[in-house]
Amino acid sequence: MSSSDGADFKTWFDAKYAETDGFTALILLISMANNRVDMLSCSYVHVIGSGTTWTDMKAMLDVSRRKWDAFAVFPEYPPGGGPLIDLVAKARLQERIDDVTANRMVLNDAGLFDARGRSIRIDPLEIN
């Protein structure tokens, strides 16, 4: 692992935490192949401390045992910050899944990272 692995993720994570004093991370694991962007799995986690590292996040994602190329993190929080209650987190996760299913470009609204923790974005496919 190079020293830059995870630097973009850590910068993004620290900024979101400072902005919200905790949040619920809606996470989508993504496969990118053959000009396709497919969701593999999803979950949410409540972020209550600022100590999450890239190594921690990658280990958590790898527990899925899925071959993933990227992941999106949508930070959600109530007014005043902090994590959502589980009922709301589940509903918001489904809303994000529905949004991404309808339009993959919504992934650019999230923190979107490759498997090395580098920021990426989805661009429209140009068909000639």
Closest CA to 111 of 54, 60, 40: 54
Residue 3's pLDDT band, with cuts at 50, 70 and 90, is: very low
At residue 126, does pLDDT exceed 80? Answer: no
CA-CA-CA-CA torsion sign (62, 108, 110, 118) = positive
Q: What is the predicted pLDDT for the residue at 35? A: 85
Q: Is the pTM of this model over 0.75?
A: yes
Quote the CA–CA distance of 114 and 101 in Å, as a whole number.
Answer: 19
Query: CA 61 to CA 28: how far, in whole Å?
Result: 10
pLDDT tens for 41-83 read 999 999 998 888 999 999 999 998 889 999 999 999 999 889 9
Residue range 58-69, pLDDT digits in tens: 999 999 888 999
14 sits in which H/E element: helix 7-20
Q: Is the pLDDT of residue 39 over 80?
A: yes
By the 10 Å C-beta count (0-12 exposed, 13-18 middle, 19+ buried), 39 is classed as: middle
Residue 124 has pLDDT above 90, yes or no: no
Q: Is the pLDDT of residue 1 over 60?
A: no
Query: Which phi and psi angles does 42 have, rounded to 5°?
Result: -150, 160
